[in-house]
């Protein structure tokens, strides 16, 4: 058996071990169970944590990420479980850092944006979206930034798939202007939308996943519009920093 195959087998052995384990295990337990050198076991555990399959607590105890235990590993073309496992701590930390709500949205087959996960701000006045709510692509930050990473012909088709209506008094409905904004988002890597889908709410979004066999997902900071101008640059910088980490982890 080659070293490459042996290493792959060890990773699968570890995943199967933690999947069948009730509770957590430390490094010593893993080394004893599999007869591995401490350095090799630690390297494998560290890699599985970095990829989101395992989590490690402050006591050095490892266990299978609950998302994989509850939802599966997302193999067979659907990687949503793995992305959700990776994004949860990022969303929590980002929301705490910025004091705003953080949402994760996905592109549906019929050309809408669905909120699949949300971490609410702890502030008394905050933005809160409805779970599994379907949002239009034409007037949301998540919708426009997702359009910006799709092939242009697909983006054009999705924009024309549904009627472009004014959701609020300031919603942009001119198709050419929307396409210009999408084109700018393609250059910037993010999109800002203020008050167009909800009065009083500003969204800043960037894509974290997409491409063949991957869910098309956007990470969004949902701010109260009155608070946004003074923290605009900080929000964008923090969002882009954390999104890049997620892209590296998901192998986009």
Summarised one tens digit per residue, pLDDT across range 168-205 is 999 999 999 999 999 999 999 999 999 999 999 999 99
Same domain, 132 and 105: yes
The mean of the pLDDT values for the chain is 88
Of residues 36, 17, 18, 20, the one with CA closest to residue 28: 36
Cα separation values, 60 from 16, 36, 38, 63, 74, Å: 20, 18, 14, 10, 27
The answer to whether 137 and 113 have CB atoms below 8 angstroms apart is yes
The reported pLDDT for the residue numbered 175 is 95
The reported pLDDT for the residue numbered 77 is 41
Give the predicted TM-score (pTM) of the model: 0.72
Same domain, 109 and 222: yes
The answer to whether 50 and 249 have CB atoms below 8 angstroms apart is yes
Question: CA-based Rg of the chain, rounded to a whole angstrom?
Answer: 21
Q: What is the mean pLDDT of residues 69-84?
A: 64
Q: What is the mean pLDDT of residues 98-126?
A: 89
Contacts of 147 (CB under 8 A, 6+ apart): 137, 155, 158, 159, 182, 185
Grade residue 1 by pLDDT with cuts at 50, 70 and 90: very low
> Has residue 5 got a pLDDT over 80?
no
Helix axes 152-161, 141-149, angle to 10 degrees: 140
The reported pLDDT for the residue numbered 133 is 73
User: 163 is in which domain, residue-wise?
Assistant: 80-250
Q: Please provide the DSSP assignment of 177-193 as one string.
A: HHHHHHHHHHHHS-EEE
Query: Is 93 contained in some domain?
Result: yes
Our CA angle for 131, 75, 36, nearest 5°, is 115
State how far the Cα of 11 lies from the Cα of 73, in Å rounded to an integer: 14
State how far the Cα of 40 lies from the Cα of 10, in Å rounded to an integer: 10
Q: Which of 34-43, 149-158, 243-252 has the lowest mean pLDDT?
A: 243-252
Number of domains composing the chain: 2
Grade residue 122 by pLDDT with cuts at 50, 70 and 90: confident
State how far the Cα of 86 lies from the Cα of 105, in Å rounded to an integer: 15
Q: What is the mean pLDDT of residues 122-147?
A: 86
* CATH code for the domain in which residue 21 is found: 1.10.10.10
Same domain, 193 and 242: yes
> Has residue 4 got a pLDDT over 60?
no
Grade residue 76 by pLDDT with cuts at 50, 70 and 90: very low
Q: What is the mean pLDDT of residues 226-251?
A: 91
Tokens of 114: 């669905």
The answer to whether 102 and 220 have CB atoms below 8 angstroms apart is yes
Q: Which of 93-107, 111-125, 203-217, 233-247 has the lowest mean pLDDT?
A: 203-217
Same domain, 207 and 159: yes
Query: Is 227 contained in some domain?
Result: yes
Of residues 140 and 130, the one with the higher pLDDT is 140
State how far the Cα of 234 lies from the Cα of 180, in Å rounded to an integer: 25
Q: What are phi and psi of 134, to 5 degrees?
A: -90, 130
The reported pLDDT for the residue numbered 139 is 96
């Amino acid at each position: 058996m080659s070293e490459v195959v042996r290493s792959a087998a060890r990773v699968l052995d570890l995943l199967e071990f933690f999947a069948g384990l009730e509770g957590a295990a430390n490094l010593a337990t893993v080394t004893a169970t599999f007869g591995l050198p401490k350095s090799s076991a630690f390297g494998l555990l560290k890699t599985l944590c970095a990829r989101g399959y395992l989590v490690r607590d402050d006591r050095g105890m490892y266990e299978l990420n609950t998302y994989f235990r509850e939802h599966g590993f997302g193999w067979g073309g659907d990687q949503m479980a793995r992305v959700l496992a990776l994004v949860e701590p990022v969303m929590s930390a980002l929301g705490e850092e910025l004091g705003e709500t953080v949402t994760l949205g996905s592109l549906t087959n019929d050309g809408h944006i669905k909120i699949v996960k949300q971490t609410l701000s702890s502030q008394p006045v905050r933005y809160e979206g409805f779970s599994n709510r379907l949002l239009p692509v034409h007037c949301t930050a998540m919708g426009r930034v997702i359009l910006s990473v799709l092939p242009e012909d697909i983006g054009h088709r999705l924009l024309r798939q549904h009627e472009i209506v004014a959701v609020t008094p300031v919603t942009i409905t001119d198709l050419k202007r929307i396409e210009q904004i999408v084109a700018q988002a393609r250059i910037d890597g993010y999109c800002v939308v203020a008050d167009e889908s909800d009065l009083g709410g500003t969204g800043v979004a960037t894509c974290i996943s997409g491409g063949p066999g991957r869910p098309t997902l956007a990470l969004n900071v949902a701010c109260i519009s009155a608070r946004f101008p003074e923290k605009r640059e900080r929000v964008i910088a923090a969002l882009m920093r954390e999104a890049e980490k997620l892209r590296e982890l998901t192998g986009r």
